[in-house]
Chain A
Amino acid sequence: MAVVFEPTKGLLDVPTHYCPGCTHGIIHRLVAESLEELGVIDKTIGVAPVGCSVLAYNYFACDMHEAAHGRAPAVATGIKRSLPDSVVFTYQGDGDLAAIGTAEIVHAAARGEKITTIFVNNCIYGMTGGQMAPTTLPGQVTETSPYGRDVKLQGHPIRVSEMLSTLDGAVYVERVSVDSVANVLKAKKAIKKAFELQIEGKGFTFVEVLSICPTNWGLSPRESIKWLQDNMIPYYPLGVKKDITQQEVK
């Protein structure tokens, strides 16, 4: 009998704590598969954030660090500079990366740290129970924007990928989504490419993944997927924001 699907060696065989329908699990799998296919699990060190994926260090099979809220890119910098032959990634939510950790991510990108950041954008603070994030959409209702995000009062969402793509140290920046099979496959390709470019020593690579939070959005998983497609993708357009390998070809 042909094996069509099996667990990836990049993840440990343990149950995760994610809510039913949450797409964090899919994104973990894509990262783990990429590391396995590239044959680098053995020399990879991951950095988990503070957020729903704080326990990612229990799931990934490689060595892991658990960072303080927002500091993962600085921690990853310390690791990569100490062990330059290793593969280093951070896995961060949008509160972690785009609010409290803005300085760390911008400067890691600007320095061209040879690390890969997986940025999980679900427009909300998941772990603390659904507060407004820097990525929360205009009008979106959250626990701390109960009347809907009013951009006059609470400012505008940050399009992190577009922002980071302006930095010379960032060599590859792409926004993907895990709302459909086709998009999951594209996301996998992007994540794998990001790691490949890191391994080639090109510079900082970044993949933003649009993700759902059914629990704090107050929607079923199926409704959440539709909400992502109807609201998030128009505001956060998918695609490659920067790819120096393409620029080189031109």
Chain B
Amino acid sequence: MAEKVLMKGNEAIGEAAIQAGCQCFFGYPITPQTEVAAYMSRRMPKIGRVFLQAESEVAAINMVYGAAGSGVRVMTSSSSPGVSLKQEGISYIAGAELPCVIINIVRGGPGLGGIQPAQSDYFQATKGGGHGDYRLVVYAPSSVQEMVDLIQDAFDVADIYRNPVMVMGDGMLGQMMEPVEFKEREAKQLPSKADWAATGLHGRKEHHVINSLFLQPEELEKHNEKLQKKYAEIEKNEVKYEMYNCDGDLDIVLVSYGTVSRICKNVIKMLAKEGLKVGLIRPITLWPFPKKAFEEVVDRTKYGFLSVELSCGQMVEDIELSVKGRKPVNFFGRSGGMVPSPTEIANKVKEIAGGAR
């Protein structure tokens, strides 16, 4: 077993990608994820791999498109305003069905916003972001260790489905130092890229074309249907979530992801002392959203659900779609880089549960 090392989140991202066999990294500096690029710039050339600082996030994601189409494992990393610029490229990558990993260490928005941690890119990540009918697999780790594990999963899932995968962390995750272990991973049987990658013919008869253009409506519709089938497959196989303290009868279930979910766990312990039984559903994949987690608790939850976010309620509609009106869905969030205290969240829970006991 590999030993644990103390590492800053952003550097752990870089190391996880390297261990996953990432051959190329293209980035552009932006707080609070600049250390990812700095780490890659130190490590990648030493092991014969590619680090390149692009002229913009637009260029970086298009470099990713070129590298992914060439059949190599590739990653880019940015934060909110930079990820906005990448949306054009992400749409093309999804349309051309290329595997890649995109990191978003989210800061507060809209606009230039701020540089403190936030989760305000939930809509952008899970509801499209760029144009067209496409989906990203979106992972939302809550610790540096989980981020490292999920980045390695992300490369595999990207290759299996030929789809871009985003790992979304709030700014806190990028900056915090935690012990991590880079686990030995069993080699997965992954589909070969030889039948589609544009690597040069090298004796092959048919030329390969990396493309998302389908001028005939019938063809584009067929392509879209193929994508939808793939997304259905992902929804079936790749949902990840954690249920914490969700046994038995429950007063309220919190729904929270990323670092705030850790605060929620403390809140649950606090409230248990006051006689309130509170559970937590922690989505690990934001898309596909863990709808089935709600089926498990909806009938046993007295007062319904509380979405706790570092954004202004962006996750609420996904929860409502899962709960389907059977119980109330409430919201508590801070934004702009503000982080809620356990007491604030606890007070909101007590308010919903009809006052303190």
Of the A-B pairs whose beta carbons lie under 8 Å apart in the complex, a sample of 27, sorted by A's number, is A45-B199, A57-B209, A57-B211, A62-B200, A64-B208, A64-B209, A64-B210, A65-B66, A65-B198, A66-B209, A68-B89, A71-B58, A71-B59, A74-B59, A75-B62, A75-B66, A75-B69, A78-B62, A78-B70, A79-B198, A81-B52, A83-B200, A86-B199, A103-B56, A103-B59, A104-B59, A104-B62
Contact A78/B209 with A41-B201, A65-B198, A107-B59 known, Cβ cut-off 8 Å:
no
Contact A47/B66 with A66-B211, A103-B59 known, Cβ cut-off 8 Å:
yes
Interface SS, A side: helix
Q: Is B26 an interface residue (CB 8 A)?
A: yes
Q: Is B55 an interface residue (CB 8 A)?
A: yes
Q: Could you say which of B72, B92, B202 contacts A42, with CB atoms under 8 Å apart?
A: B202
A71 to B59, CA, bound (A): 7
CB pair A42 B209 closer than 8 Å: no
Q: Could you say which of B63, B72, B88, B208 contacts A77, with CB atoms under 8 Å apart?
A: B63
Specify which chain B residues have a CB less than 8 angstroms from the CB of A67 in the assembled complex: 62, 65, 92
Q: Could you say which of A57, A58, A60, A77 contacts B66, with CB atoms under 8 Å apart?
A: A77
> A45-B70, A68-B92 provided; 6 other pairs, C-beta below 8 A?
A57-B209, A65-B198, A66-B213, A74-B65, A77-B66, A103-B55
Chain A 50-84, CB within 8 Å of chain B: the 1/0 string? 00001101101111111110010011111111110
Q: Could you say which of A44, A78, A106 contacts B74, with CB atoms under 8 Å apart?
A: A78
A233 to B317, CA, bound (A): 60
Interface size for B (C-beta < 8 A) is: 40
Q: Is A43 an interface residue (CB 8 A)?
A: yes
A76 to B70, CA, bound (A): 10
CB pair A61 B207 closer than 8 Å: yes
CB pair A62 B207 closer than 8 Å: yes
Chain B 65-98, CB within 8 Å of chain A: the 1/0 string? 1111111101000000000000011001000100
Q: Could you say which of B26, B58, B88 contacts A78, with CB atoms under 8 Å apart?
A: B26
- Inter-chain CB contacts under 8 Å: number: 135
A81 to B23, CA, bound (A): 10
Closest to A69 in B: B88
A65 to B95, CA, bound (A): 13
CB pair B213 A63 closer than 8 Å: no
CB pair B55 A78 closer than 8 Å: no
What is the CB-to-nearest-CB distance from A140 to chain B, in angstroms, rounded to a whole number? 29
A68 to B66, CA, bound (A): 11
CB pair B203 A42 closer than 8 Å: yes
Specify which chain B residues have a CB less than 8 angstroms from the CB of A83 in the assembled complex: 70, 72, 199-200
CB pair B88 A68 closer than 8 Å: yes
CB pair A79 B70 closer than 8 Å: yes
Residues of chain A touching chain B, judged by Cβ–Cβ distance below 8 Å, are 12, 41-45, 47, 54-55, 57-58, 60-68, 71, 74-83, 86-87, 103-104, 106-107
Specify which chain B residues have a CB less than 8 angstroms from the CB of A71 in the assembled complex: 58-59, 62, 65, 89
Q: Is B64 an interface residue (CB 8 A)?
A: yes
CB pair B202 A78 closer than 8 Å: no
A12 to B209, CA, bound (A): 13
Specify which chain B residues have a CB less than 8 angstroms from the CB of A63 in the assembled complex: 198-201, 207-209
Chain B 4-37, CB within 8 Å of chain A: the 1/0 string? 0000000000000000000110100000000000
Specify which chain B residues have a CB less than 8 angstroms from the CB of A65 in the assembled complex: 65-66, 69, 198, 209-211
Specify which chain B residues have a CB less than 8 angstroms from the CB of A81 in the assembled complex: 24, 50, 52, 63, 66-67
Specify which chain B residues have a CB less than 8 angstroms from the CB of A43 in the assembled complex: 200-202
A206 to B96, CA, bound (A): 28
Specify which chain A residues have a CB less than 8 angstroms from the CB of B96 in the assembled complex: 66
What is the CB-to-nearest-CB distance from B71 to chain A, in angstroms, rounded to a whole number? 8
CB pair A79 B67 closer than 8 Å: yes
Closest to A41 in B: B201
Closest to A111 in B: B52
Contact A82/B66 with A66-B213, A71-B59 known, Cβ cut-off 8 Å:
yes
Kindly identify, within residues 214 to 243 of chain B, every residue whose CB is under 8 Å from any CB belonging to chain A: none
Specify which chain B residues have a CB less than 8 angstroms from the CB of A64 in the assembled complex: 198, 207-211
